[in-house]
């Protein structure tokens, strides 16, 4: 089975740790634009949106390991 990332958006606090650690793994420096995951603020709904680029993501699960709120969880397809 292939690992996948499950997103529980209600828990997201917008800390962007997932974005920073993903960019570090991919580019070896902290650059949010290099990450396979992005966190965006939805001002109309006053919550966050998480966008995962399936083509860039290699399922290393570093974002899951760094998430302090349990927003990102490891699953299997």
Domains of the chain: 3-76 (3.30.70)
| pLDDT-based confidence at residue 77 (cuts at 50, 70, 90) | confident
Mean pLDDT along residues 12-34: 96
**Residue 62 in tokens:** 């570093």
- pLDDT tens for 24-65 read 999 999 999 999 999 999 999 999 999 999 999 999 999 999
pLDDT tops 90 at residue 11: yes
Question: Hey, what are 70's tokens?
Answer: 């349990």
Give the tokens for residue 43.
């001002």
pTM score of the predicted model: 0.91
User: Confidence band (pLDDT; 50, 70, 90) for 2?
Assistant: confident
| Count of CB atoms situated within 10 Å of the CB of 5 | 21
Distance from the first to the final alpha carbon of the chain? 6
């Amino acid at each position: 089975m292939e690992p996948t990332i499950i997103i529980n958006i209600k828990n997201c606090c917008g800390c962007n740790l997932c974005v920073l650690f993903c960019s570090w793994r991919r580019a070896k420096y902290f650059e949010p634009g290099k990450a396979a995951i992005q966190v965006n603020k939805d001002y109309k709904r006053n919550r966050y949106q998480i966008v995962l680029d399936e083509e860039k993501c290699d399922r290393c699960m570093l974002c899951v390991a760094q998430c302090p709120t349990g927003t990102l969880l490891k699953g299997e397809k």
